[in-house]
Amino acid sequence: MKRCIASACESFCEEYVMVSIKDIASACGVSIATVSKALNDHSDVSGSTKALVRDTAKKMGYLPNSQARALKTNRTYNLGVLFVERASRGLTHSHFSAVLNGFKNEAEANGYDITFINRNTGGNTMTYYEHCMFRGVDGVAVACVDDFEDEGVTELLNSSVPAVTIDYVGRGRPAVLSDNAQGMRALTEYICGMGHKRIAYICGDDSKVTSIRIESFCNTLKSLGIRLNSDHIVRGKYQDPETTEKLTKELVTLKEPPTCIIMPDDFSALGGITALEKLGMSVPEDISIAGYDGITLSRFLHPRLTTYQQDTEKIGAEAARQLIAMIRKEIPGEPPVVTVSGNLIKGSSVKYIGG
């Protein structure tokens, strides 16, 4: 029995022994330097030799050692992602998860892995900057929905770690923005074009994005000659149907209720719909509503939600491209600010009332 176990262990070890580039060189009859160049796609190695080396490496089960590569290239090929928001929804945050998917796809296409940056690792508390150093990330994407002025975020963005910001401009970093001004303008113009003059807006948490949307909403109404009722702008929360439900009830019971309500986002719009149903009102017959973001959920609501669809895939992919370009020192001069447009989804939750 002992001999059988020993034999099995030896077989297991032989099967999983680490294959080195020296082994590949020997199998191919070329030098170690040639194998290294072939695997790293150097131009001074012929195509046929590259094919031979790569095919042999694959058959032998060769896997490059990330630590060895990091020592040689001074890169870990690991990108950090920092996401902070008050609701703490994490990957259940519908908009952010879609942006992250675009970031992930572009990062992986360029050979990078992703690590989430936080303040707690294995029971130890550290700053965001310290966590980036601990994980040895080559750079970090910062997508703070609520507060870019947080002390830990500020420390990270003021450090030497390459970083790109999403929906925030500042600190001399490349930035990728959704065109929130254009999005709110397009949504408001469409609602006004459907004859609505009493339009309420339940905005999200206090942030730069929220400020831009409020300003665009007010300016659009002014440009169309429509009076703004200050009671029709109320502070809500992003990704929070419960708060939106409460505020929707308050708006529709005003002395001068709106005929249409713009919700903070598509997910929060569920709370608005629930509030109206509890009041015995239907959408859009009794009151119209519109969302923001254009998440998949909005297409399956009845009636289909009128919303502004952000191009989350492009936002995420562009953030990854800008960060990788910064790591490679391919960004000369001022860091770019890339604005990504979306498109209006008319849906059927906004009723035409003349005009």
Domain count, the chain: 3
Q: Are residues 151 and 204 in the same domain?
A: no
Q: Are residues 324 and 300 in the same domain?
A: no
* Sequential DSSP letters for 72-131: HHS---EEEEEEE-TT--GGG-HHHHHHHHHHHHHHHHTT-EEEE--SEETTEE--HHHH
With respect to residue 62, please indicate whether it lies within any of the assigned structural domains. no
Supply the range of the domain harboring residue 30: 18-40+50-57
Q: Are residues 291 and 263 in the same domain?
A: yes
Q: Is 350 left (phi over 0), alpha (psi -120 to 50) or beta?
A: beta
Q: Are residues 116 and 27 in the same domain?
A: no
Q: Are strands 343-345 and 307-309 parallel, antiparallel or unpaired?
A: antiparallel
Q: Are residues 203 and 297 in the same domain?
A: yes
pLDDT by residue, tens only, the chain of 355 residues: 444 434 433 433 333 346 788 889 999 999 988 988 888 778 889 999 999 999 998 888 876 655 555 555 567 789 999 987 665 566 667 788 889 999 999 999 998 999 999 887 767 788 999 999 988 899 999 987 667 888 889 999 999 999 999 988 888 899 999 999 999 999 999 999 999 999 999 999 888 889 999 999 999 999 999 999 999 999 999 989 999 999 999 999 999 999 999 999 999 999 999 999 999 999 999 999 999 999 888 888 889 999 999 999 999 999 999 999 999 988 877 889 999 999 999 999 999 998 6
With respect to residue 318, please indicate whether it lies within any of the assigned structural domains. yes
Q: Cα(129)–Cα(138) distance, rounded to whole angstroms?
A: 12
Q: Are residues 213 and 254 in the same domain?
A: yes
With respect to residue 355, please indicate whether it lies within any of the assigned structural domains. no
With respect to residue 6, please indicate whether it lies within any of the assigned structural domains. no
Q: Are residues 218 and 236 in the same domain?
A: yes
Q: Are strands 260-262 and 199-203 parallel, antiparallel or unpaired?
A: parallel
Task: Compute, in degrees rounded to 10, the torsion defined by CA atoms 166, 181, 271, 231.
Answer: 130
Q: Are residues 83 and 141 in the same domain?
A: yes
Q: Is 280 left (phi over 0), alpha (psi -120 to 50) or beta?
A: left
With respect to residue 349, please indicate whether it lies within any of the assigned structural domains. no
Task: Retrieve residue 173's tokens.
Answer: 């970093």
CATH for 302: 3.40.50.2300
Q: Are residues 114 and 231 in the same domain?
A: no
Q: What is the largest CA-CA distance in the chain?
A: 91
Q: Are residues 252 and 319 in the same domain?
A: no
Q: Is 338 exposed, middle or buried (0-12, 13-18, 19+ CB in 10 A)?
A: middle
How would you label 34-66 residue by residue, b for 16+ Cβ within 10 Å and e otherwise?
bbbbbbeeeeebeeeebebbbebbeeeebeeee
Task: Retrieve residue 233's tokens.
Answer: 């702008």
pLDDT for residue 66: 54
With respect to residue 148, please indicate whether it lies within any of the assigned structural domains. yes
With respect to residue 3, please indicate whether it lies within any of the assigned structural domains. no
With respect to residue 269, please indicate whether it lies within any of the assigned structural domains. yes
CA 220 to chain centre: 28
pLDDT for residue 3: 45
Cross-strand bridge partners of residue 199: 260
Q: Are residues 123 and 194 in the same domain?
A: no
Q: Are residues 302 and 193 in the same domain?
A: yes
CA 174 to chain centre: 15
